[in-house]
Chains A and B, each alone.
Chain A
């Protein structure tokens, strides 16, 4: 086969291969996007319900807005299977931090949640499947209030 014939064959074959690869890559990316949107929508729905359940912390008042973040922020091939949703809320309270933790424990135990406190840290952590609730005491000693962070992560519980 001469170059005169080989070059068009290579060009046409290359164009077909690139076209097919582009279509397949598009389908793959779309499938991943579809999958992520589905799990994130379900997590938001469940998270909203959970937040409603835990809204009435005794003698506590939410400060500012409930902050919600979803990720990953950089959506690419390396993060194709990642998905998380995080809610964070600061609270002002008249009770002590340990009383707040006790209230949450009472609310959550019996519903599949387990408390997993790390000895070195003052924060309290509750976990269930892909969910985690972290209660953090104020950074400055003597101040009242706490920060509650609720997180759903597709990688949980494997990463814990």
Chain B
């Protein structure tokens, strides 16, 4: 132990870096490239809706685009037919244009009912781009669910971006807790790191996002309400083609319902104030003791209130509690209002175990190493991130525990 305190400060990298970072960067760029066709389509949709000029076209020929794969015996499997017409029209500047196409999506997912009446020789409205009249469409149909394609590059970008970011981080001995202020009873008041209110807020945010996604799915499903040749079994009962989107909508709605339920359950406890936790030292050495003070105001009715010292490890092996020591507890808390006189106050001494692992967090690689922190990572056998907390648990019902975490720092440097 003594030798560890005198050794020069060392920094340990997280287990992922280098080659994985390069790999993720390549996939991130590929995902960025995936945005290009979507942006191109968005630009075309905008121009079709706002810039294209109407004229009248003469249909010359129906030349469908057949896709699918051919078997060895010349049969076509998974065939899809996209409409495509050769047509001719005259622009406002009396220029005769002959071009080919149907809509802004190359005929993808075009309902057959829309184009089945277009025959050679027929006249139909056409919209053309005045800047490039060869770009013309016979249908100004907007296909909103095309933009769900965005989910693929965006999710890939998020995933690869986050992994890439983590690759450029390293483990670093933690020196201080942000947001710590002077306390009233003891030297320092700890900021809350994870609280019931924050969790309720997250649930509310997820609920809104999920509701928006559900609304999008609903619009996509509504968009498919066109007669088709082959109904699925559920569609045949409903009377319109679901094309799978209603199932996605129902799944999204179920997920939203879960979020709403969880949010409402937790919303009840938002009125319970966060406890105030104060200690006498901002940094604790292994084996060191310090005083702890807790103040819990009402309104709160709880079966028990428990304060624990917790050490968590985050790393490749996942999150696990290395230490969880009950420090102090109280039973049958009944605080009817928020008055100062009715608050529950608890005091205790906490002792960091002598064999405690030091606080270690992940920081960007670009941070210049400093020597002022001192300390060493010799005690750390792996490269995991280590966090220490004062955890306050309030059991408000047999199944419900409100939990708030207050971060502390364990290092060889004291304060």
A-to-B contact residues, CB < 8 Å: 34, 37-39, 41-42, 44-45
The reply to whether B63 and A39 contact each other, CB–CB distance below 8 Å, is no
The reply to whether A45 and B120 contact each other, CB–CB distance below 8 Å, is yes
A41 vs B60: C-alpha distance when bound (angstroms): 7
B-to-A contact residues, CB < 8 Å: 60-61, 63, 86, 88, 98-100, 120
| Beyond known contacts A37-B100, A39-B98, A41-B63: 16 more, CB 8 A cutoff | A34-B100, A38-B86, A38-B98, A38-B99, A38-B100, A41-B60, A41-B86, A41-B100, A42-B60, A42-B61, A42-B86, A42-B88, A42-B98, A44-B61, A45-B61, A45-B86
Collect the chain B residues with CB atoms within 8 Å of residue A38's CB.
63, 86, 98-100
Collect the chain A residues with CB atoms within 8 Å of residue B100's CB.
34, 37-38, 41
Collect the chain B residues with CB atoms within 8 Å of residue A34's CB.
100
* CB<8 Å pairs between A and B, sample of 17: A34-B100, A37-B63, A37-B86, A38-B86, A38-B98, A38-B99, A38-B100, A41-B60, A41-B61, A41-B86, A42-B60, A42-B88, A42-B98, A44-B61, A45-B60, A45-B61, A45-B120
A38 vs B62: C-alpha distance when bound (angstroms): 10
Collect the chain B residues with CB atoms within 8 Å of residue A44's CB.
61
A42 vs B89: C-alpha distance when bound (angstroms): 12
- Distance in angstroms from B106 CB to nearest chain A CB is 11
- Distance in angstroms from B139 CB to nearest chain A CB is 18
Instruction: State the 7 A-B residue pairs at the shortest beta-carbon distance, nearest first.
Output: A38-B100, A41-B86, A41-B61, A45-B60, A42-B98, A38-B86, A42-B60
A81 vs B86: C-alpha distance when bound (angstroms): 18
Collect the chain A residues with CB atoms within 8 Å of residue B86's CB.
37-38, 41-42, 45
Collect the chain A residues with CB atoms within 8 Å of residue B98's CB.
38-39, 42
A41 vs B59: C-alpha distance when bound (angstroms): 11
- Distance in angstroms from A49 CB to nearest chain B CB is 10
A37 vs B98: C-alpha distance when bound (angstroms): 12
- Distance in angstroms from B61 CB to nearest chain A CB is 4
**Chain A residue with the shortest CB-CB distance to B58:** A45
- Distance in angstroms from A158 CB to nearest chain B CB is 19
Collect the chain A residues with CB atoms within 8 Å of residue B120's CB.
45
A39 vs B120: C-alpha distance when bound (angstroms): 15
Collect the chain A residues with CB atoms within 8 Å of residue B63's CB.
37-38, 41
The residue among B86, B88, B99, B120 with the most chain A CB atoms within 10 A of its own CB is B86
- Distance in angstroms from A31 CB to nearest chain B CB is 11
- Distance in angstroms from B72 CB to nearest chain A CB is 22
- Distance in angstroms from A70 CB to nearest chain B CB is 13
A41 vs B85: C-alpha distance when bound (angstroms): 10
A45 vs B60: C-alpha distance when bound (angstroms): 6
A41 vs B99: C-alpha distance when bound (angstroms): 10
Collect the chain A residues with CB atoms within 8 Å of residue B60's CB.
41-42, 45
**Chain A residue with the shortest CB-CB distance to B60:** A45
A42 vs B120: C-alpha distance when bound (angstroms): 11
A149 vs B63: C-alpha distance when bound (angstroms): 26
**Chain A residue with the shortest CB-CB distance to B100:** A38
**Chain B residue with the shortest CB-CB distance to A48:** B120
